[in-house]
A and B are shown apart, each in its own frame.
Chain A
Amino acid sequence: MSEICCFKGHDLKFYWTINWVVILLGIFLLALTLLLFIFPKNKENQRCVVKIQVGDLSNKKEKIPTVLVFTEEDKYGLYSNLLFKYFLAEGVVCGHELFVASAKEHPDNILKELPAPLLDDTYRNELGEEATAVKSEDFQDSMKIAWRYQNLPKMEASPTSTKFGHYYDVSKTMPPELFQSINWHSFYLPEELSLQPKMKTCNMNSAYTRLLQSIQRIIYQEGFDGSDPQKKQKNILRIGIQSLGSMLWGDDICSSDTPEDIHSLTKFLYVLRALLRKSLSACIITVPAHLIQNKAIMERVTNLSDMVVGLESFIGSERETNPLYKDYHGLVHVHQIPRLNSLICDVSDTKDLAFRLKRKLFTIERLHLPPDLSDTVSRTSKQDLAESAKLLSSGCGAMAIGKKHLDF
């Protein structure tokens, strides 16, 4: 083993005479918060609507690129696909340039299915009707038991202007006229395989190499990295990459416990991060995290991304029929939020978030459990309910004593 040498460090004026200092980073705790996203809409239900908006360009001289990684933890890819399209739709409405990359669906088809934006006045009318209806009901209600809370400020009222992001109607697709004014680029892997990559491969999967080359070419040609001083009107490039890491990209991390090359994905992300930091762009990536057996890869991916959000849908799981979650379609887990250009990050109070897909809207809300009106002391999950039901039926007047209940 190594010998233990005591070598005193260089004496500084200050109180440490340290030779060898190591900082260790701490523990990864799952926490739920969203940056850039929370926008409370209706105070009664404490709903938040997701707005996907890239930062404001006007004040900042520095570029604000971010790498967003959405872990496609929902097994069937329904909701992550929806969020992917929201991101791109927001780009269309804001006039940004788009770059869509996919290995399974042609980008043209993806773009044809973007949700239609809701115009300000129609949406506000709908919201307004809802809000006034609810208000008139409980206007006269004053709190009797929790009267101390009467004077606390309620959550923000519905937005009067849509300066920050837009709302979308998922039941309609975006009209083609909106696409006319924007530039968009696509990368469909089966069509790109014939071209030879020019950059040094650095032992990365060839599909990733081609994708990086394509992105770098667009950034350079369209001047997103400031290389073209004549281009005065600055715009943002929104990059969307679908199902990265899946087998369609030629990577076997989703199909095997011991993949051949565990570094391809992380190297790709690092180079992508470098490209984004150098240019005015933002990127969303969906990853089928539930298929990746080697969890170390997901940890590294999380460290290399600015923001990581996981979607857990209830389809096919026991939670689908759990009465606690009856209003929602899934949970949102936020694993990482960006901490750029500052010591702190904007942390919201909300930690438990759930999403639901209604006919027209996809909303992300604070997880709101209904009041517990059961006989037992602790809130029961479905299994406990079934157990206690069995016990009740077996003996008349018997107390429902489940494993988790503490009745004094």
Chain B
Amino acid sequence: MLTDGSFLVHHFLSFYLRAGCKVCFVALLQSFSHYNIVAQKLGVSLTAAKERGQLIFLEGLKSCLDLLFGEKEQSGQPSPLQFLSEGASDLKALFDFVRMSLTPAGSDSWKGPVLLVDDLSVLLSLGAAPVAVLDFIHYCRVVVCSQLKGNIVVLVHSNEDSEDEENELVVNSLCHHSDLILWVEGLATGFCKDVHGQIKIIRRVSLELTAEKDLVQVYQYKIQDKNVTFFARGLSAAVL
């Protein structure tokens, strides 16, 4: 079963919106309506969040079309996906978009900013160099995490025996720099109807210079229509 961690993206989106954070969501793979429909099942309305300025949604698919087929030049800011048309190798326009969205305006009363990206591997498919992608994340970290005291959540795809070296490079680098890794994978024993996969939660305590090892917790999960249930390994409801 192709295991996909996209359910975590939906979770984080609704989690941060409910917590009252200002969220900048760079959605590269799916359309707005997809996220909206799922978020409604989880109890959050993305349209309402957008209207009150809490959610800034970059729909990658739509911007791409505007950039390539749009007849008029958009006045003011360049498209965040500028790197597509110019063949420019950096993602500066995308970073500028993120920075402007999350820099608090005077009237904002939201709690800490959050950058959510789904999914970073797509940037590589679109021609961005791995170094450019890592630079983009680094710049975002500087602004969002240290300057604005916010959080960043990034989704990447990876295969066990992947031959996509660029992707593996990005994934490894992100792993090294992150404070928390949620690693979603399929069961080693194959497909199971009641257990959709396994999630490894790795808390990078080792980054805190206290000579402790990373904390690793493993749970299995089952995705339902409006919810995901987690349980300890081997204790799925079907077994008990």
Contact = CB atoms under 8 A, between A and B. Distances in A.
A157 to B, nearest CB: 23
B221 to A, nearest CB: 11
A320 to B, nearest CB: 27
Given A202-B84, A274-B64, A277-B31, A27 B158 contact: yes
B213 interface: no
Interface string B16-45: 000101000000011101100110010000
B108 interface: no
Nearest to A335: B2
A343 B19 CA distance: 21
B174 interface: yes
Interface stretch (A14-22, A73-81, A281-289): A14-22
Interface residues of A, number: 63
Nearest to B63: A274
Given A21-B180, A202-B68, A31 B2 contact: yes
Interface in A23-79: 23-29, 31, 33, 62-63
Contacts, number: 232
Interface in B154-207: 154-160, 162-167, 171, 174-175, 177-186, 190-191, 193, 197, 207
Contacts of A13: 19
B145 A20 contact: yes
A303 B33 contact: no
B68 A21 contact: no
B175 to A, nearest CB: 7
A176 to B, nearest CB: 35
B225 A343 contact: yes
Given A14-B19, A20-B141, A20-B177, A28 B159 contact: yes
A123 interface: no
Given A24-B181, A341-B34, 5 more contacts: A7-B146, A10-B112, A24-B5, A29-B2, A304-B122
User: What 3 pairs across the A-B complex have the smallest Cβ distances?
Assistant: A26-B185, A10-B112, A22-B178
7 contacts: A9-B112, A10-B112, A16-B180, A27-B3, A199-B69, A296-B163, A336-B2
